[in-house]
Structure 1
Amino acid sequence: MLYFDGVFGLVLLALWLFCLFDVITTDASRCRHLPKMVWVLIVLLLSDVGSILWLVAGRTWDSATTAGLPYKGNTGLPRRGSTGRYPEYERPGRRVASNPDDDEDFLRQLRERAEQQRHEYRALRAEDVARDERERRRRSGDEPD
């Protein structure tokens, strides 16, 4: 009898967790009869009864648009041969890559930036050499402090 109670308790806990995650990940427009936050509170506070109420009255079960669980990547939209909301090359705001060798402005900016970095490196290197030379002279006694 104790074994049965333990298994039954685990099943109810699993049902409650499933329904809680399902309510949280379901789009608010897909919740029936009550707002999403009310469903979250019902499932959270009335664990077993709230879970059953969610499955019966709150969750939509139309199989045409719910091909998978919402937290497994289902967008709630009917599929048109792709797994996402937009096909790979039709995403809004997607910039098509171009060949950088064809873009003269880009190449000019690269050359200018490289030349500026070379110039800065040479100036820093000359500064380091001069500082090292002054330090060497100071240590050898050629130049007063």
Structure 2
Amino acid sequence: MARLLIVGGFLAAVFWVFSIVDCAVQPATRHRGVRKPVWLAIVILIPVIGGILWFVIGRRRANDQGVTRTLAPDDDPAFLRSISKTEQDARIRRLEEELARLDDETDEGPSPEPRA
């Protein structure tokens, strides 16, 4: 039982320190609710519960800020639906020709066979 308390206390201390560091290094734009110094005070003064509150309520996720992942046109379903099948085929044909041309430019031809 004593070991369990020691391990639990150690884990709580690690979580508390991690919460303080995470709260301190986040830019001010990633804090929700109150300002950064107030969140730091909450996390420091209320050790485990403050850290839980920080991660649940206070820490703004990247996707909460309107940050969207940009897709390449070939990966964007809306773009692919907007072009016709013939346009897709023509685009693929152009890309294949360009790849073949680039491949030919980088090839130096067959290597000569070593002479004995």
If the length of structure 2 is used for normalisation, what is the TM-score? 0.53
Give me the whole-angstrom Cα distance separating, in 2, the residues matched to 1:59 and 1:15: 15
Q: CA RMSD in A?
A: 2.5
Partner of 2:47: 47
The aligned amino acid for 1:56 is: V
Distance change in 2, residues 1:14/1:59 (3 Å): same
% identical aligned pairs = 32
Distance change in 2, residues 1:52/1:64 (3 Å): closer
Partner of 2:8: 8
Question: 1:46 Cα shift?
Answer: 0.5
How many aligned residue pairs are there?
A: 70
Distance change in 2, residues 1:63/1:11 (3 Å): farther
Moved over 6 A (4+): none
Long gaps (5+) in structure 2: 71-116
Long gaps (5+) in structure 1: 66-75, 80-145
Distance change in 2, residues 1:38/1:63 (3 Å): same
Match runs of 1:43-82 below 5 Å: 43-62=43-62
If the length of structure 1 is used for normalisation, what is the TM-score? 0.43
Structure number having the greater helix percentage: 2
Return the index of the structure with the highest Cα Rg: 1
Partner of 1:23: 23
Question: 1:56 Cα shift?
Answer: 0.4
Partner of 1:36: 36
Bigger RCO of structures 1 and 2 (CA < 8 A, at least 6 apart): 2
Partner of 2:109: none
